[in-house]
Structure 1
């Protein structure tokens, strides 16, 4: 079951699957199982306890049923823990619901981030190719929506590239830690060897080890939301420019053609820039969702948030899947973008005629050298040509 009918930018994408209810349930159960494994390794649980928990976890498969039961406690972990303990008494040992939900959120984020980074890499490679091929392709630069001075399409593509490269760098650097605080953030429920458990839990999940429990210090969520908003914004910039370049009156670029793409229900002659439109839709939504994460961080009172933590869950999922959908769409758009140098020259000639009347210098200056600088930055971070 999907709810993507009104969000085509993410519908059917890998990021949508990675953030679906089924994926969240798997992450919650993975967090519980990893905790049992770490505790068994430490000797806190008896041999075989972790396998009992894992077996019980495999029997829990219905997120819709758990969602209804979650109304009783305000989160799904209470119901999950009850089901696990019915079959595996050592499950959820010493833990609190927020430990499991936060760890699961970081697991979902880690798995979805890998998909987003891969699509950002594809997008960057396509943009680097466009920048290099059109390093000296002249076109009219535009400021405030009007023709201004000459530039090159390569420099425009290089700007897109740098924005995506910077966003990728920031997203990749966000720390995604486990959560292990116990009832009030002291780790008391985990026993005398609680601090030894922390690195083992991080190892079992593949997440990072935090300095302290972060029940009410929501830095990981805030930084992740901000990085996703930056990535969506960088992709949205590409979508906006392509939308304008593809205007009938401009005609300097076009999206890659595909059967049924860009059609209008009322105007069959149109070829709408739907990829750019979908990317822009995500770029407009993600900052708003990230703002909820920022607001929730400031209201997380004492040792357990009441409402603020709960308010994060859906906006965080939307940030991940909208940015993931935008990244996948941008990789498709940039990988097949059609560029029309002749049309660029035609539009530029009118600008040059106007500039000549005013005695202005019509050159592009060091635009090609600026392209080289962006390409060098991309290669320095491991960028390779699109295959």
Structure 2
């Protein structure tokens, strides 16, 4: 985790204090259930909760010192708790294995992280929707392969982004549900030394589902799904960030990141206004996606469990969620303050002498009786002249001067084919699909 790209609420989820607090709750709830089943005395659970009610400071350094001797993190934690709770602490961890604690705690942390990310997505969706509605009918050029294609609106570009991030949210809701599972099933998942009702009790207290069939661990396909979902969200972030970067090119300049008073773009060139935030988002997206492959590789553990997944998850759990949280917040800020230039969009629309209307002329010629092949050739030969003039010539005027074209379409008909509004007639329909009817 790099502090430069971290926000406090998400960082707190991965703090040792939060992790160890969750460990304690798991152990205390399990002891509570064991007491209800008559396996341990009720005084054991009471002693744990009474001590916890005093709001003890979790001494991470002391626990680390014990671990330096035991070489085992859960044993170090249990030893430290026992030093404070006293004799009743011996009833903790009855019939449990370390992974019962570690995996269930990780499920809680990932669920907490998902809740913050879902809130981040809600904020981003709100910002995108506001700007989309603001520019619903702002015409701009659509590009395929980076080349002028046909007119769209800037609002439609943002509506597409909204729909994409709305899908991201739905996936994350599903991934959260899948990762929010509890396993308190003992050394190899058979409940040989602990009643399944203990697992159910702990799961209910922590807001988790029970793992239907575990080994020593919760199966890692769940975690792979979670991190893959984060990777897809990162891909969507990069897609929108890349769009902004392209639109901020000097030759395009249809939109650009907000440039604050006093901001500098280059140590050498005082004139520079660079898309640094969206460039940064592209890099952050790469880092989030870098967690996906190791998460997938963690699925194939040996037999009932090996420990190869552990070191991986100590990295990717905090790093992927903290980075994605920061990235979503940064992208929300970019969209919220994005400078949008409708006049430049119109200028670029007009840049290539009406080439953007070529398909409509093609279709009109076919409807007027020409074959598709002949229609294509007629339009293309005039369009290439416009290309070669770098937009100085007008496609409409060239078509009006082409006898083969005017033999089928009148000048008035040709003029109507160059009406920009034709391309925008279904914007309301698309918006209703994305945002619902007004």
Identify if the C-alpha distance between structure 1 residues 337 and 52 changes in structure 2 by more than 3 Å, giving closer, same or farther: farther
SS at match of 1:142: strand
Of 225, 228, 233, 2:227 maps to 225
Quote how far apart the aligned CAs of 1:75 are. 5.3
Counterpart CA distance in 1 for 2:205 and 2:184 is 13
Quote how far apart the aligned CAs of 1:27 are. 3.0
Partner of 2:75: 78
Partner of 2:313: 312
2:367 is aligned with 1:370: no
SS at match of 1:30: helix
Quote how far apart the aligned CAs of 1:55 are. 5.9
Partner of 2:192: 188
Does the 8 A contact of 1:4 with 1:11 survive in 2?
A: yes
Counterpart CA distance in 2 for 1:96 and 1:262 is 56
Q: How does 1:87-126 map to 2 (within 5 A)?
A: 87=85, 88-126=89-127
Identify if the C-alpha distance between structure 1 residues 74 and 289 changes in structure 2 by more than 3 Å, giving closer, same or farther: farther
Does the 8 A contact of 1:135 with 1:154 survive in 2?
A: yes
Partner of 2:281: 279
Identify if the C-alpha distance between structure 1 residues 107 and 332 changes in structure 2 by more than 3 Å, giving closer, same or farther: same
Q: State the number of aligned residues.
A: 369
Q: How does 1:130-145 map to 2 (within 5 A)?
A: 130-145=131-146
SS at match of 2:240: helix
Q: Mark the structure with the bigger radius of gyration.
A: 2
Counterpart CA distance in 2 for 1:149 and 1:302 is 57
Counterpart CA distance in 2 for 1:239 and 1:350 is 25
SS at match of 2:350: helix
Identify if the C-alpha distance between structure 1 residues 351 and 127 changes in structure 2 by more than 3 Å, giving closer, same or farther: farther
Tell me whether 62-71 or 363-372 shows the greater mean CA deviation: 62-71
Counterpart CA distance in 1 for 2:312 and 2:324 is 19
SS at match of 1:364: helix
The TM-score normalised by the length of structure 1 is 0.85
Partner of 1:382: none
Identify if the C-alpha distance between structure 1 residues 50 and 293 changes in structure 2 by more than 3 Å, giving closer, same or farther: same
Q: Deviations over 1:220-274 (max 9, x none)?
A: 2111111111122222211111122222332212224446656444444333333
Identify if the C-alpha distance between structure 1 residues 66 and 163 changes in structure 2 by more than 3 Å, giving closer, same or farther: farther
